[in-house]
Amino acid sequence: MKPVVSEGDVLDGDPRLEGTRIGVVHIYRRYEDGETPEEVAASYDGVTVADVHAALAYAFENADEIRAIEASAREAVDRIRENRPVDPEEFKERA
């Protein structure tokens, strides 16, 4: 089983499965969206069901940290949308 690690130079220090760039928050989101641990594991090369359970355990034990990571991601998306030069619907119409 891969341990969960946090290193500043990978994923901005967000927790992830060691030896991967798969963040705990990514696994947690998929689980929250209804995927089973088996489905999540099958979608990543080299990730086992035990790895997924380890990531989920970390997420549940560190819920405040996971919520902060998700909030930061939402804020980044909002900033990108605010600074986007073209409305996506307008872009689709021009395409």
**Percentage above 70 pLDDT, the chain:** 89
pLDDT greater than 90 at residue 88: no
Domains of the chain: 4-94 (1.10.10.10)
Q: Give me the chain's average pLDDT, please.
A: 91
How many degrees, rounded to 5, is the angle at CA 38 between CA 35 and CA 39? 45
**Quick check: 23 and 11 in contact, CB under 8 A?**
yes
pLDDT of residue 72: 86
What would the mean pLDDT of 26-47 be, rounded to a whole number?
A: 97
Q: Which two tokens stand for residue 67?
A: 């919520």
Going along 1-95, which residue ranges are E strands?
A: 4-5, 16-17
pLDDT tens sequence across 43-58: 999 999 999 999 999 9
